[in-house]
Structures are given as C-alpha cells and as structure tokens.
Amino acid sequence: MTTLRLLLADDQALVRGALAALLQLEPDLDVVAEVARGDEVVVAVREHRPDVALLDVEMPGLDGITATAAVRAACPATRVLVVTTFGRPGYLRRAMEAGASGFVVKDTPARELADAVRRVAAGLRVVDPALAAESLAAGTSPLTERETQVLRAARDGGTAADLAAVLHLSEGTVRNHLSSAIGKTGARTRAEAVRLAEQNGWLLG
C-alpha cells in the first residue's frame, strides 16, 4: 500500500491538530509537516515533498490561494487541496485558477476528506458540489482591481479622506470607485457593498 505524504497549512492550531489527528487515522495517509502561515508553505513543501498540501484560504503572511500558485510553480508534483471554513464562490474560482486540484469546506466528514485527498493525489479534481453550483451562479467578480482595493480598504471603516490617504488617491477618485462598487454589488451602502463582496470571496488579497 502506497502511503501519501501530506502537509497541513492552517493558522488555527486546534483546527490543524484536529485535521492531522483525523487524517493520521487512515492507514495510507501520513501528515509529514504542519505550518501556521501561508508564507511558510513553499519552504515546507520543498523540504518535505508532500504528495498533497492541504491549505486554508485565510492565513497570515500569504493567503492560501496565492500560496497554491506558489506551490504549483515551485513543486509541480505536489497537488493542492484547499480546505477552508470560508466556502465562498469567488474563493473556489480563484483557487482553481491558481492550480488547486480540489476545494472542500472544513465541516466535510472525515471519511470524505480522506477520500478527497486520495482522489486529488490520483490526479482528479474534487470540488464541494454545493459550492460549485454557487460559484457558477455567482460568476466572476464584477469589480475592477481599483474598486476591489477601495472596498478592501473600506472594510476597516474610515472616511473617504482616510481611504484616499491610505491608497494614495484623491478623495473624489475614492468616492467614484466606492459609488461604482456599490452599484455593481447591488448594495445600498458602502458597508453592505463590503459585506456582499466579502461573502462572494471578491476581496481576498
């Protein structure tokens, strides 16, 4: 029986530990490395050469989607399975574009998660079916890169002048981008536009 070598990347130690414990119960799966930051993933992959890297999306240092692209570039033999709390359609689309072989949510039953790991290692694609349908329905982000930057900055609140200072833009330009983003998301307020864009996974980065 071939044993598959796994790397886990998740900034929540309890979650990472629980995932490791569940996967280690499988006779053909071996967790050879664990990291807590996105910017530690490629170094660990190079050192341990796992067959599959299981990456969270939201991590310090580097998000899981950017880390996915980095793993695929540095070690093409390592497949990536994104395992996240945040089942957002925009995340799924971007993860697959970055080279992930699979995308599942953390409440996936242990047996299904182990099966997903095996299928990804075998060169198959594994995607949470409900999320796949949602992703198709949501489509790609309607926001331009600049509108996305402005909404990201607006997550922490602050006036248009505050945002303009952070982004090195004029206040008028910030207002225009906010107005456009509010219209494109179908929101009534800036806060609602941020919330809707977050839910769709359009603000990662």
**pLDDT attached to residue 133:** 66
Mean pLDDT of successive 10-residue stretches along the chain, which has 205 residues: 95 94 96 97 97 96 96 97 82 89 90 95 89 66 88 88 91 90 86 86 75
| Total Cβ atoms within 10 A of residue 123 | 8
**pLDDT attached to residue 196:** 85
**pLDDT attached to residue 135:** 65
Rounded Cα–Cα distance for residues 109 and 106 (Å)? 8
Contacts of residue 6, Cβ cutoff 8 Å, sequence gap at least 6: 23, 29, 30, 31, 32, 50, 51, 52, 53, 54, 117
Class of domain 145-199: mainly alpha
**pLDDT attached to residue 61:** 96
**pLDDT attached to residue 139:** 65
Indicate the domain borders of the chain. Answer: 4-138, 145-199
Q: What pTM was estimated for this model as a whole?
A: 0.70
**pLDDT attached to residue 201:** 77
Contacts of residue 119, Cβ cutoff 8 Å, sequence gap at least 6: 102, 126
**pLDDT attached to residue 121:** 97
* CATH number belonging to domain 4-138: 3.40.50.2300
Rounded Cα–Cα distance for residues 8 and 112 (Å)? 17
The two tokens of residue 68 are: 């996915």
